[in-house]
Structure 1
Amino acid sequence: MEISFKNKVALVTGGSSGIGRATAIAFAKKGAKVVVVDWIENNETVNLIKELGSEAIFIKCDVSKMSDVKMMVEKAIIEFGRLDYAFNNAGIEGIQANTWDCTEENWDKTINVDLKGIWLCMKYEIPEMIKQGKGVIVNCASVAGLIGFAGLPAYVASKHGVVGLTKTAALECAKLGIRVNAVCPGVIQTPMIDRLTHKEKENIEQFKDLEPVGRFGLPEEIANAVIWMCSDEASYVTGHAMAVDGGFVAK
């Protein structure tokens, strides 16, 4: 069955690059009007979507701030009148350090963006979807939300939190016509992995070795999973944390 999101509205946080950009474009290709959100003004994704002949707007928003997130959802509704899909993807990796060397500043910043940000997004997205009687939310966690990952304690804790929060919201929304799931990407070729590896060959190879298939995933491969989760083909799927990786979790 061909997936179509014609006359639907999708919101994507962290939409200026990487997985967010790929997913925003994927929504547009399926006919959705797209709200692209990021914390720095950047219209590149919106322009790419418009080149496809689809509608899109950009909203600047810091997902760790309640007032920003409230404004984000309000603007989306004012512009397009509804909210059918939300991909809560904005996140940071924080500073690499062992648990005992992690600073309070790094802990707070990472948790505020990666976990509090997801909660705030759902806090304001879900009521709009309740009004419609239908909606789908996909939160971006990580394989680091399913297993441990040395040197990133705040990131790992936040992503485990996203998985738990997703399952809780899914139970709360199950009879309200709203599905809530999480996608847990493995090592994906994005600006984040470039920062973690510093683009150094030895570091890149170490990260590749984590994936049994021997390569990084592509943002488009995660976008495909998100699109499926939002589609009617996944109508019986809620409360799941789907690992999308090259065997990382199985390994």
Structure 2
Amino acid sequence: MSERLKGKVVLITGAASGIGAETARLFAAEGAAVVLSDINAAAGERLAAELGAGFVAADVSVETQVEAAVAHAVCLHGRLDCMVNNAGMIGVVGSILETSADDWHRTHSVLLDSVFYGIKQAGRQMREQRGGVILSLSSLAGVVGGVGPQVYSVAKAGVIALTRGAASELAQYGIRVNAVAPGLVVTPLVEQVYGDRDGAVEGARRGSPLGSPAFPIEIAETLLYLASDEARHVNAHTLVIDSGVSAAGSSASALFHSRPGGFLGTMPKLD
């Protein structure tokens, strides 16, 4: 490894599995002092032991627990250079017409409120340091309507708006704020949707214009770039990682691309 994060202190929420776990492994391999946070204490502590990293249990839907996680990282290492707001879930599914207010708020508390808490608490620490990087997980569902559950999609769109607003405010303190918006990635949550890992891999493959499934390590590698000094001028940006779905859909133009060359319809005559 090139140690692109050597000397950096990184706090990752939702770090016990999926994208969070792969990000923790990659960042640690790149020289970062990683602190993991997850509501699943047993899984989080196992990964922390594997990596020789710190761990703090936290429910990211509760601001005081996010504040405590940031404080724990600073207590361990004296500073915080990068915050990765990764914790998430799918949340309530079904028609917006049948969604209860309680389910709406519960879903947003994990997917959007937690990002606000992470930006706020990490941003306060980084303001004192005069620098840092905050990264958050949005989703293709927040970029293109109809590719995710209704409430999930709204929350992920909110992450994008919050990223832009926070970046504008915090740039004066040397803090960069960016997001990534993955398409379908083979994670434990997606495996639940498809029933098992094989189903998730096949679903991700079929949904990709490139014909290949995306895995957590590939999202982690993008987060590594954004966390590194190589991205020192990347700010207020949401990087979409969807194999091109948002451009044309997985098969939107296949009908036309598969036809012989030529025009459909009548071309006007030119004088």
Instruction: Settle same-fold status: TM greater than 0.5.
Output: yes
Following superposition, the deviation at residue 237 of structure 1 comes to 0.4
> How many angstroms does 1:164 deviate by?
0.2
Report the equivalent of 1:137: 134
3-state SS of paired residue (2:80): coil
2:50 aligned residue (40, 48, 51): 48
Match of 1:186 in 2: 183
Fraction of identical pairs, as percent: 36
* TM-score normalised by the chain length of structure 2: 0.86
Return the match for 1:147 from 144, 158, 167. Answer: 144
Aligned CA-pair RMSD:
1.9
The answer to whether the 8 Å contact 2:191/2:199 transfers is no
Pick 1 or 2: higher relative contact order, CA cutoff 8 A, min separation 6: 1
Structure 2 distance, partners of 1:29, 1:205, is 30
TM-score (ref. length: structure 1): 0.92
Could you say which residue in structure 2 is the equivalent of 1:163? 160
Is there any run of 5+ residues in structure 1 with no aligned partner, and where? 51-55
Q: Cα distance, 1:207 vs. partner?
A: 4.8
Secondary structure of 1:250's counterpart equals: helix
| C-alpha distance after superposition, 1:43-80 (max 9, x if no partner) | 12212213xxxxx1111001110111111111111111
**Which residue number corresponds to residue 211 of structure 1?**
208
2:110 maps to: 113
SS in 1 for 2:173: coil
- 1:30-69 aligned within 5 A: 30-41=30-41, 42=43, 43-50=45-52, 56-69=53-66
Aligned length: 246
> Kindly tell me: are residues 124 and 101 of structure 1, through their superposed partners in 2, closer, same or farther at Cα, counting changes over 3 Å?
same
- The alpha-carbon deviation at position 173 of structure 1 amounts to 1.1
Post-superposition offset of 1:200: 8.6
Supply the distance in 1 between the matched residues of 2:151 and 2:213 (Cα, whole angstroms). 23
**Partners of 2:169 and 2:243 in 1: how far apart?**
32
Q: Which deviations, in whole Å up to 9, do the C-alpha atoms of 1:81-139 show, x marking residues without a partner?
A: 10001110001111321221223232111100000000011111001111111100110
Q: Which amino acid aligns with 1:49?
A: L
Measure, in 1, the Cα distance between the counterparts of 2:85 and 2:117: 10
Partner of 2:79: 82
Partner residue in 1 for 2:236? 239
In the TM superposition, residue 169 of structure 1 has moved relative to its aligned partner by: 0.3
**How far 1:4 sits from its partner (Å)?**
2.2
1:6 partner SS:
coil
Q: Give the 4+ runs in structure 1 shifted more than 3 A.
A: 200-208
Do the aligned residues in 2 keep the contact of 1:98 with 1:151 (CA within 8 Å)?
Answer: no
Among candidates 120, 124, 130, match of residue 121 of structure 2: 124
Between 41-50 and 72-81, report the one with greater CA deviation. Answer: 41-50
| Structure 2: runs of 5+ lacking an equivalent | 249-271
Given that 1:9 and 1:82 are in contact with CA atoms closer than 8 Å, whether structure 2 keeps it comes out as yes
Greater shift in the superposed pair: 90-99 or 23-32: 90-99
In structure 2, how many angstroms separate the alpha carbons of the residues matched to 1:242 and 1:164? 13
Report the CA distance shift for 1:91/1:200 in structure 2 as closer, same or farther (over 3 A).
closer
What secondary structure, in the 3-state scheme, does the structure 1 residue paired with 2:230 have? helix
- Structure 1: distance between partners of 2:197 and 2:168: 43
